[in-house]
Amino acid sequence: MSTVTFNPLAIAAGLARHRTLLGQLVKRDVLLRYRGALFGVLWIFLSPLLMLAIFAFVFGHIFQARWPNQPDSLPFWLMLYAGLIVFNIFGETVGRSPAAVRGYPAYVKKIIFPVDVLPLVPFGAALVHAAFNFLILAAALAWTGHFSTGLLLFPLLVVPVLLLGIGAAWFLAAWGVFIKDMTQIVPLFVQMLLFLSPVFYPASAVPPGLTFIYNANPIGAVIEAARAAMLGQPVPWGAWSAALVLGAAATLLGHAFFQHSRDEFADAL
């Protein structure tokens, strides 16, 4: 029977032992996504670059959108892009998690295979894409003359979202083995969460009667913190710390649920 642990050091040590395997699985996942494409893995760079260009054209030139309460801030499309980078780490990880274990039945049925690394494959791929998105954001900020050293805090500030994504990945990957509908339900949830998070607007624009929903959203707190750092403004460390605690709790609970369920994976598949 699988051992359930709430010890973060033990969980981290277990993953560290299989870091090479995880790295190979992530590499394979990323390469397979672009296999056969004319530009191959260059799409990792081209895709976010084209998306940013479209944002700049649509929101900057057609709609001429301005960020609320920030008359002298960054262009709207850069504020939007920064929020999407944070959210997409969680969205891509969670959206693909229900199929993370179900998609590898041969691995699951091997007794010695560390099944708990499989839900982290979509997470690793999401990190690869986020890294390229971040580099493009930094280049765009420098090109528009808005680069701030606060942007260097960006990798630290997204840690709560990383932890939340890992925990959700373990939880949803386990449920995805038993409930096939999860592969249809979760992407819908991710789309709803996208619009319920301050990605396309600041949290300050939310009506007072709905602020409690946004205050309970750790992803929103991280997005606001990342934008503040990007603007060179004070980071709301209190809200960020609360998001960090929730992310850590989600990781521990998600791992425990996965370990509790894994003995039944082979029978379900």
Per-residue pLDDT of 66-83, as tens digits, reads: 777 665 667 888 888 999
DSSP assigned state of 203: G
Residue 253 included in any domain: yes
> pLDDT-derived band of residue 190, with 50, 70 and 90 as boundaries?
very high
Question: Which own/partner pairs from 66-69 qualify as long-range (CB within 8 Å, at least 24 positions apart)?
Answer: 67/202, 68/201, 68/202, 68/204, 68/205, 69/202, 69/204, 69/205
Distances (CA, A) of 83 to 13, 18, 79, 202: 32, 32, 6, 10
User: What pLDDT, in 10s, does the model give residues 130-186?
Assistant: 999 999 999 999 998 889 899 999 999 999 999 999 999 999 999 999 988 898 999
Residue 196 included in any domain: yes
Residue 227 to residue 112: CA distance in whole angstroms: 44
Count of domains observed in the chain: 1
> pLDDT-derived band of residue 11, with 50, 70 and 90 as boundaries?
confident
Residue 46 included in any domain: no
Handedness of CA 261, 262, 263, 266 (dihedral sign): positive
Residue 91 included in any domain: yes
Residue 184 to residue 237: CA distance in whole angstroms: 36
Residue 48 included in any domain: no
**According to the model, what pLDDT value does residue 103 have?**
83
**According to the model, what pLDDT value does residue 2 have?**
62
Whole-model pTM: value is 0.91
Domain that holds residue 222: 26-33+80-268
Over 60: is that where the pLDDT of 1 sits?
no
Residue 55 included in any domain: no
